Amino acid sequence: MPPFETALPRERHTALDADSVRAAYRRWAGVYDTVFGGVSAFGRRRAVEKVNALTGVHVLEVGVGTGLALPHYSGAKRITGIDLSAEMLAFARSRVKSAGLANVEALVEVDAEATGFDAGSFDIAVAMFVASVVPNPRRLLAEMRRVVRPGGHLLFVNHFAAERGPRWWAERALAPASRKLGWHPDFSRDALLPDEDQARAQFASVPPLGLFTLVSLPN
């Protein structure tokens, strides 16, 4: 595979960086569950159901956030969660402790684009509502592919921009606020997946109103 930098899509007009992501989620941490927990619940549950149904034990949850998905994994799965936000991870650790989630093996503050894990460390990597948050989505994809063993699985749940209609206009109107929001409202499939991966992936719309998509990609 050529270096992932050569496959990066055309840069979007409002770039995120690690510091702006940290700052955004420092602001969101205390209210994230209230503001986003409900609307994202269907996507998280669908992704975890998919993880639980797949073979393989060792699971990397990329962008674990406050740990909303952690209680829903099968006890047979061994979960490592990573996030760039120390504040979000503090809530996740509290959730693990209060719920007694013995299958959560580690919660680590690390960059999803450069985790430092050994190649092939996991059977499954799942990123829920993360691809439109990281500065370089193709690097996220490359890193998830690296740390998952051959024959394993990559899963994404994310909002992808509409191609037309009122939502198209709304998403592009919000795009200049990406740095303050901490995510890209105008995020496209092409920004994450090259054509060859789009051809191999399975896409499933999830509630509410089909705003989010579950992407399953064999490694």
Q: For position 64, what pLDDT does the model report?
A: 95
- pLDDT, residue 181, reads 38
β-pairing verdict for 212-218 and 202-206 = antiparallel
Phi, psi angles (nearest 5°) of residue 127:
-125, 115
What is the pLDDT at residue 211?
76
CA distance 32 to 96: 17
Q: Could you tell me if 61 and 81 are in contact, meaning their C-beta atoms sit under 8 angstroms apart?
A: yes
Task: Determine the pLDDT at residue 165.
Answer: 45
pLDDT digits (tens), the chain, 219 positions: 223 222 333 334 445 566 655 555 555 555 555 456 556 788 899 999 999 999 999 999 999 999 999 999 999 999 999 998 888 899 999 999 999 999 999 999 999 999 999 999 999 999 998 998 888 999 999 999 999 999 999 999 988 865 544 444 344 433 443 344 344 455 789 999 999 999 999 999 888 767 788 999 999
As given in the structure block, the two tokens for residue 206 are 């999830």
Q: Tell me, what's the pLDDT at 39?
A: 67
Question: Domains, the chain, ranges and CATH?
Answer: 12-218 (3.40.50.150)
pLDDT in tens, 37-79: 556 788 899 999 999 999 999 999 999 999 999 999 999 999 9
CA distance 219 to 216: 10
User: With left for phi above 0 and alpha for psi between -120 and 50, is residue 75 left, alpha or beta?
Assistant: alpha
Name the H helices within the chain. 18-28, 32-53, 86-99, 137-147, 165-174, 178-181, 189-192, 195-200
Q: What is the pLDDT of residue 179?
A: 40
Give the C-alpha separation, 7 to 148, whole Å.
20
pLDDT at residue number 25: 56
| pTM of the full structure | 0.78
